[in-house]
């Protein structure tokens, strides 16, 4: 940070998303999510899912409590990374491709069942949130691991309690779905919401803008918005 | 959402923060945090700390691994709410004030020690991140609980291992510190970074903007930026 940096090039083929565009895309998707799924808990995949989950929560408030007030729904955060992003994992280099496929997602944080204890996953409407569906690997992993946890919690219930819970529902929300071949699939019983379908190009998210552009005496985030506007103007 | 809403009033006394202002404030603070503390892990207090932690991570990348690449530092999320925000907690109404003070913070999620297992808190440089320091209650709670966990982890180490770890360091980063009387204090050994000190006024954060303003055919987030600019122009 702080060094001189090249001005962003409108012809670099990157898709630049501004904070306000993210917010509006999430707000529009929230209408569909609310009417078609109406989650009572979100599971945000960090770090990319943090911002979308926080914004989405604003749009998905639910009436709860005797006073009829609209309240935030809870967010649980999980941390998932792909091996290639972490880059410091021992032993992965020697694995055969099929082993790697099963192991390429690393958990850096999972749900905290000590605090979820009296509000378990069973019977809930759970929305998994991330910023982008690229290869679908991370989302596929999240769904399959959550399903295992839900089943394990359900199996532990006394037989006479099992009927007390409505069916547990899972859904996914991503702000952007890249139209490309996916490396994992989402089961049919998991609803899927995408804010926008986008081509398979490099996406510059606003929270990744780091540089201070000396020649403009401005942080890159401000030029990011300018360049994004210019690209729209030029139809790029 | 969706209904007609009053246009925001520039004279309502609210301090309106735009996404880009948050980003730049975080970027500037990051220079001080990097040079004075240089964290190797962040603990984001959700939901308000999610956005600041994700942006801050962009500015706090560290060189790691043999290839000398700059990599993201990990974020662990915790969920803390004040009783008054949750509003559906049984039994709090009957408590005496001094009992309430000790109990008014609710954990909705805590650190996941199953994934932190081989990278414990002991010996690390831990930065707690939130969007605003209002009454300081939540931050005070987070610091005191983290210190207990760190001490418990340290106590469990074999005697001959204890000297292998550098001292564990805690620091706090908030984007905004409200200048007001606080209800909790931060110990002297915990470094404190605030992006900005602000007066004790109502703050409108961008991610809370929900309405679609029919008369302008625009989501409130866009008017939020406009009104914020107008307030600056008028010196409000």
For residue range A19-74, list pLDDT tens digits in order: 999 999 999 999 999 999 999 999 999 899 999 999 999 999 988 777 888 888 99
Query: What's the confidence (pLDDT) of residue B5?
Result: 54
Distance from CA of B223 to the nearest CA of A (A): 11
Q: Kindly state the tokens that stand for B125.
A: 């440089």
Q: Does position B4 have pLDDT exceeding 80, yes or no?
A: no
Q: DSSP code of B166?
A: P
For residue range B90-116, list pLDDT tens digits in order: 334 444 444 444 458 988 899 988 777
CB-based contact B19 A23, cutoff 8 Å: yes
Chain A touched by B83 (CB under 8 Å):
no
Cα-based distances in Å from A230 to A9, B124, B172: 10, 44, 38
Q: Does position B87 have pLDDT exceeding 60, yes or no?
A: no
Maximum distance among all alpha carbons in chain B? 70
Percent of chain B past pLDDT 90, that is, above it, reads 60
Q: Does position B8 have pLDDT exceeding 90, yes or no?
A: no
For residue range A80-89, list pLDDT tens digits in order: 988 765 444 3
- Indicate the fold that domain B18-204 takes in CATH: Rossmann fold (3.40.50)
Q: Does position A102 have pLDDT exceeding 80, yes or no?
A: no
Of A22, A51, A54, A65, which to mutate for an interface test with B (greatest number of B Cβ within 10 Å)? A54
Of B73, B112, B206, which to mutate for an interface test with A (greatest number of A Cβ within 10 Å)? B112
Of A187, A150, A191, A141, the closest CA to residue A168 belongs to A150
CB-based contact B88 A46, cutoff 8 Å: no
Domain boundaries, chain A: 1-17+205-236, 37-88+107-204
Chain B touched by A46 (CB under 8 Å):
yes
CATH among 3.40.50.2020, 3.10.180.10, 3.40.50.720, 3.30.70.100 for A37-88+107-204: 3.40.50.2020
Confidence of residue A134 (pLDDT cuts 50, 70, 90): very high
Cα-based distances in Å from B207 to A14, A53, A154, B10, B123: 25, 10, 35, 19, 35
Cα Rg of chain B, angstroms: 20
Q: Which of A55, A75, A108 is facing B79, going by the closest CB pair? A: A75
Distance from CA of A110 to the nearest CA of B (A): 6
A77 compared with B217, residue with greater pLDDT: A77
Report the side by side order of strands in the sheet with B125-133: B105-109, B75-82, B41-46, B125-133, B169-178, B190-198
A134 catalytic? Reply is yes
Distance from CA of A201 to the nearest CA of B (A): 21
Decide: B42 and B76 in contact? Cβ < 8 Å: yes
């Amino acid at each position: 940070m702080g060094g001189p940096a090249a001005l962003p090039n409108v012809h670099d083929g990157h898709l630049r998303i501004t904070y306000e565009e993210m917010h509006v895309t999430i707000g529009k998707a929230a209408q569909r999510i609310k009417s078609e799924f109406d989650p009572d808990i979100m599971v945000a995949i960090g770090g990319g899912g943090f911002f979308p989950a926080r914004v989405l929560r604003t749009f998905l408030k639910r009436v709860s409590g005797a006073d009829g007030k609209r309240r935030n729904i809870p967010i649980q955060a999980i941390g998932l990374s792909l091996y290639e992003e972490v880059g410091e994992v021992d032993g992965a280099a020697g694995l055969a491709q099929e082993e790697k496929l099963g192991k390429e997602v690393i958990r850096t944080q999972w749900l905290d069942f000590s605090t979820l204890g009296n509000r378990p996953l069973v019977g809930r409407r759970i929305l998994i949130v991330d910023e982008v569906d690229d290869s679908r690997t991370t989302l596929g992993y999240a769904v399959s691991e959550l399903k295992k946890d839900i089943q394990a919690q359900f199996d532990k219930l006394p037989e006479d309690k099992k009927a007390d819970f409505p069916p547990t529902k899972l859904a996914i929300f991503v702000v952007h779905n890249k139209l490309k071949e996916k490396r994992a699939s989402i089961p049919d019983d998991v609803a899927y919401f995408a804010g926008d379908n986008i081509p398979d190009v490099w996406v510059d998210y606003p929270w990744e803008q780091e540089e201070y552009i000396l020649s403009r005496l401005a942080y890159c985030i401000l030029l990011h918005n300018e360049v994004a506007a210019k690209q729209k103007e030029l139809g790029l």
